Amino acid sequence: MQDLIDYAELPDWVPGRVLLASDGLGWKNVALRSYHYEGQDVIVPAMQDFMLVGYRTGVTPMQRRFDGRWTRETLGPGAASLLTRAQRAYWNWHKPIDVTHVYLSGQLVSQVASEVMDCAVTQVTLNDVLRTDDPVMTHALQAIAGEARAKGLGGALYVDAVARGLIVHLLRRYAAIRIPPPGCAGGLTPAQQRRIVDFIDTHLGTALDLKALADALDMAPCRFAREFRRSFGKPPYAFVTAQRLARARHMLATGSEPIKAIAVDCGFADQAHLTRMFAAAFGQTPAVFRRRAQ
Averaged in consecutive runs of 10 residues, what is the pLDDT profile of the chain (294 residues)?
Answer: 85 96 96 98 94 97 88 96 93 97 93 77 85 97 97 95 96 82 68 94 92 90 87 92 94 93 94 94 93 86
Q: Check residue 2 and give its pLDDT.
A: 59
Residue pair 61/149 in contact (Cβ under 8 Å)? The answer is no
| Rounded-to-integer distance, Cα 241 and Cα 236, Å | 9
| Rounded-to-integer distance, Cα 97 and Cα 88, Å | 22
Domain finish residue from 125, 148, 178: 178
Quick: pLDDT tens for 140-183.
999 999 999 999 999 999 999 999 999 999 999 998 877 665 54
Q: Check residue 111 and give its pLDDT.
A: 83
Whether 154 and 274 share a structural domain: no
| Rounded-to-integer distance, Cα 130 and Cα 91, Å | 10
Q: What is the pTM of this model?
A: 0.68
Quick: pLDDT tens for 60-84.
999 999 777 899 999 999 999 999 9
CA 132 to chain centre: 25
Residues 6 or more apart whose Cβ sits within 8 Å of residue 167: 104, 108, 109, 112, 113
Whether 156 and 30 share a structural domain: yes
Q: Check residue 119 and give its pLDDT.
A: 66
Whether 22 and 126 share a structural domain: yes
In a domain, 119, yes or no: yes
The partner residues of 93 in beta bridges, in order of sequence, read 40, 62
Whether 95 and 225 share a structural domain: no
